[in-house]
Structure 1
Amino acid sequence: MSIPKDAKKKLEKWEERAQDLIKEAKQSTGKKKEELKKKAKDLRERGQKQVKDLEKDIKKAEEKTKKSLNELKKKANKSIKELEDIWK
């Protein structure tokens, strides 16, 4: 299953922010570095939450697809049964 476009954009934006923060952290020292550590921790937590939310969304979509396929399969089997009854 592919990742929804909006979720992919969110993850790409998160990755971009993380890379900017990494770049800034490498150039910083002292108090600024501590602030960046806090931002990095917050960003990591938000990123992890986004990934979990995305996993839930994908799982829901898979379940919905599976349910739809099962319903189609039941309808097809019912139609086949009706046709077999007609041919008897």
Structure 2
Amino acid sequence: MSTLHLRYFARLREQFGRDAEPLGIPAVPYTVGDVIDLLIARGGVWAEELGGPRVFRVAVDQEMATLDTAVHDGAELAIFPPVTGG
């Protein structure tokens, strides 16, 4: 069993009611997409925010990532909405 450290920001933190949590995954290699699928499978707000048309970004160990990016045991995976400036 491997453990990831998930962090949520902005709208997602509010919707999920937490800013961080550990997540056990069966084994690595796993991808960001695999982790997102696990979260979507929780249903409810998780499926609405991560599985629908809503846009979000992901970083692994503070580096921008894609759904194909591999995660490793102990990785920090941050999920956040896109940010606009002005």
Class of the TM-score when normalised by the shorter of the 2 chains:
under 0.3
Per the normalisation by structure 2, the TM-score is 0.24
Higher relative contact order structure (alpha carbons within 8 Å, sequence separation ≥ 6)? 2
Please state which structure has a larger fraction of its residues in helix.
1
Per the normalisation by structure 1, the TM-score is 0.23
Please state which structure has a larger fraction of its residues in strand.
2
